[in-house]
């Protein structure tokens, strides 16, 4: 086998080692062929992806015949509408509602969109910084609005009798 040989195969099992290496058992497309503990190739040292059983993948081979997974050909267990992307754009689509998309517009500017079928969490050891003109808080109506001021009304004894909230759905980034 030389380094140009590639085979298509279906992932049968997925394992992850304690140090993070992902390996798969792959049933190759030719009769009786199966590769065990095939490492999943990484496009970058700090990027990781983990196939699921049932995915059809490309198994490539190094000069010495060692197999490794390079690409995904199909994901039959998941069906979702692929977004229309402009040239120079990229998306990581996980299901119909969950994606990270970097989209290039006609003027060459990029927009980054993060959407999820569950919760989106942004965390940092220091601070989260927003560098832009404004923040729009979403389409949740008054419940998604940011409280910008609280006013109270008190009676003659100083007891609060009414609370009034001032809300906004857009705020300036500071």
Residue with tokens 């990027």: 47
Q: Using the predicted structure, report yes or no on whether residue 48 has a pLDDT greater than 90.
A: no
In a domain, 17, yes or no: yes
H-only helix segments in the chain: none
Of the ranges 34-38, 83-87, 148-152, the best mean pLDDT one: 34-38
| Closest among 76, 80, 11, 83 to 40, alpha carbons compared | 11
In terms of Cβ atoms closer than 10 Å to its own Cβ (0-12, 13-18, 19+), residue 14 is middle
Name the average pLDDT for the chain.
Answer: 81
Strand order across the 90-93 sheet: 90-93, 99-104, 110-115
Q: 115 and 139 share a domain? A: no
| 1 pLDDT more than 50 | no
Task: Tell whether 55 is covered by a domain.
Answer: yes
Q: What is the CATH number of the domain that holds 46?
A: 2.40.50.230
The reply to whether 83 and 110 lie within a common domain is yes
- Report the pLDDT averaged over residues 93-116: 86
Chain Cα centroid distance, residue 93? 7
93 DSSP β-pair partners? 99
**Per DSSP, what are the bridge partners of residue 58?**
8, 71
Whether residue 1 is contained in a domain is answered as: no
- Residue 59, in any domain of the structure: yes
User: Is-above-0.75 flag for pTM?
Assistant: no
Residue 127 lies in a domain: no
Q: Sorting pLDDT into bands at 50, 70 and 90, what band is 71?
A: confident
* Pair 106, 149 in one domain: no
Any domain includes 45? yes
Mean pLDDT, range 121-141, rounded to an integer: 72
Instruction: Provide the pLDDT for residue 7.
Output: 87
- Where b means 16+ CB within 10 Å and e means fewer, 162-171 reads eeeeeeeeee
137 with 157, same domain?
A: yes
**Boundaries of domain holding 138:** 132-174
68/97 same-domain check = no
- Clarify whether residues 19 and 33 are in a common domain: yes
Structural domains counted in the chain: 3
Residue ending a domain, choose from 36, 56, 74? 74
Same domain membership, residue 67 and residue 12: yes
| Shared-domain flag, residues 21 and 60 | yes
In a domain, 117, yes or no: yes
Among 73-87, 109-123, 137-151, the minimum mean pLDDT is found in 137-151
Please tell me the predicted confidence (pLDDT) of residue 3: 47
User: Residue 136 has what pLDDT?
Assistant: 67
Helix and strand totals (H; E) in the chain: 0, 12
> Across the strands, what pairs with 69?
40, 59
CB 38 within 8 A of CB 67: yes
Asked if the structure places residue 126 within a domain, the reply is no
């Amino acid at each position: 086998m030389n380094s140009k040989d590639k085979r298509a195969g279906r992932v049968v099992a997925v394992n992850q080692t304690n140090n993070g290496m992902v390996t798969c058992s792959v049933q190759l497309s030719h009769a009786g062929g199966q590769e065990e503990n095939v490492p999943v190739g990484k496009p970058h040292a700090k990027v990781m992806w983990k196939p699921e059983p049932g995915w059809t993948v490309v198994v490539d081979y190094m000069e010495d015949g060692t197999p490794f997974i390079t690409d995904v050909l199909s994901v039959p267990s998941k069906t979702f509408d692929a977004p229309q992307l402009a040239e120079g754009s990229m998306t990581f689509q996980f299901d119909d509602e969950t994606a990270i998309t970097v989209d290039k517009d006609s003027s060459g500017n990029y927009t980054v969109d993060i959407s999820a079928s569950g919760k989106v969490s942004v965390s940092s050891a220091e601070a989260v910084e927003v560098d832009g003109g404004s923040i729009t808080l979403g389409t949740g109506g008054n419940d998604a609005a940011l409280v910008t001021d609280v006013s109270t009304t008190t009676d003659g004894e100083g007891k609060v009798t009414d609370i009034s909230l001032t809300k906004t759905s857009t705020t300036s980034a500071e």
